[in-house]
Amino acid sequence: MESFFCTKNPKDTLALIGMTGRFSYLRNMNYYINRFSVREQLINEKPNNDLGIVVVIPCYNEPNLIPLLQSLYDCEKPKCNVEIIVVINASEDAKEVVLQQNRKTLIEAEGWRNNHQNDIQFYFIEESYLPKKHAGVGLARKIGMDEAVRRFELVNNHQGIIACFDADALCDQNYLVELENHFEKNPKSPACSIHFEHPIAGNDFSKEIYNGITQYELHLRYYKNGLAYAGLPYAFHTIGSSMAVRSETYQKQNGMNKRKAGEDFYFLQKLIPLGNFTELKTTKVIPSPRVSDRVPFGTGKAMQNWLDEEKQELFSYNLKSFIDLKQFCKTVPELHNDKNTIPETVQGFLKTIDFEENLANIKKNSTSQIHFVEVFFKWFNAFKVLKYMHFARDNYYPDMTVFEGANELLELMGKAKQESNIELLKKYREIDC
């Protein structure tokens, strides 16, 4: 019997399930699956009773999936059982060349699986006709993550770990073991981000790409540490290939969104405010720096722009925007008592988001100053901070090179400046670990 099935006709799916006689639990499926899942059951094989980790990977027009599969296959095995779900996807209006590549990828992946049998189960789901309105990485992740929920529900494991990965990424050999250990050591953590490092040297890519990805990753770490310097409670990386969530939490937050890009950022902004969000720093994911047009923004698109514009220096947010944000964050508790010492840049931005009206509502619904601060930062969230950074850039502080900004932030953090982008990135990696 095939180890997976995917049919677009729900009646056919239910009939097939009925024939197997294994999945009568579907008649009593939980609220999340009934309400939010976009597919019937896809995998026609009973999971191992000790299933503890499911890694979900969206795969679109991917000519080189095998290195990822091998990377996960070579991982040290955790105590729990592990499944890998790859969602090979395309839109209903995809070009024939994309569909051909997807079929080739599926054949190659199945052939690889036949020669690589161990305790990790690999499943390949073909979704080649997704509705064009929603087709993209968000919907592909959602299909795979929803199936992971079903797998965990079959064995009554509501705390099972759903890890997100990308089809062109790799990982350290301790990835699965450390993923299991992290959630065991942090039983109250609903989700985590996972340390990542792009390759910044080697023979697989051009010098231009390595230069570009070095500065792009530096930009990501500069922004994250700028938020931390400002004192914001949501200073975490939001990278789709390096995050994980408990099945129960995933369901309670209504699952993954269907966004064509930025799905990781929006998804994690539902999880971080829950509290006890953690960072897994004892392993790493290795995302690819390759050029890509799969999504309208992100690493692949940034690298394409880098090459097209023949850049030598990457520009990022002005450090002064973070400094003003830090001053504002210090004054937030005072807002509970109507004191006002907000920097001009932040004041200008707040006028664009109905600040006074929202502040009045927050005060009205706060029982103490501590509660006020907590509620305030749930309103003044990561989305609004990103909008503020753009507002400050457009109206007050022009972008500066990421090298200059990241070095000046290091000084404010009490650390020595670095002389090159590579050394600067290495220093920020140390800080993030």
Reading the block at residue 231, the tokens are 């004192």
pLDDT at 336: 81
What class, spelled out in words, does domain 10-308 have in CATH? alpha beta
CB neighbourhood size of 171 (10 A): 26
pLDDT at 313: 86
Render each residue's pLDDT in the chain as its tens digit; 433 residues: 333 434 333 333 333 333 343 444 443 458 899 999 989 899 999 999 999 999 999 999 999 999 999 999 999 999 999 999 999 999 999 999 999 999 999 999 999 999 998 889 999 999 989 999 999 999 999 999 999 999 999 999 999 999 999 999 999 999 999 999 999 999 999 999 999 999 999 999 889 889 889 999 999 999 999 999 999 999 999 888 999 999 999 999 999 999 988 888 889 999 999 999 999 999 999 998 876 665 555 665 666 676 667 678 889 999 999 999 999 999 999 888 766 678 999 999 999 999 999 999 999 989 899 999 999 999 999 999 999 999 999 999 999 999 999 999 999 999 999 999 999 999 999 999 9
pLDDT at 337: 78
Pairing of strands 120-130, 81-91: parallel
Pairing of strands 161-164, 51-59: parallel
Cβ atoms of residues 80 and 53 within 8 Å: yes
Strands (E), 8-138: 51-59, 81-91, 120-130
The segment(s) of the chain belonging to CATH 3.90.550.10 are: 10-308
| Residue bearing tokens 């990542």 | 196
Q: 162: closest CA among 65, 225, 105, 240?
A: 240
CA dist., res. 201 & res. 422, Å (int)? 10
Please return the burial class of 110, using the count of CB atoms within 10 Å of its CB with bins 0-12, 13-18 and 19+. middle
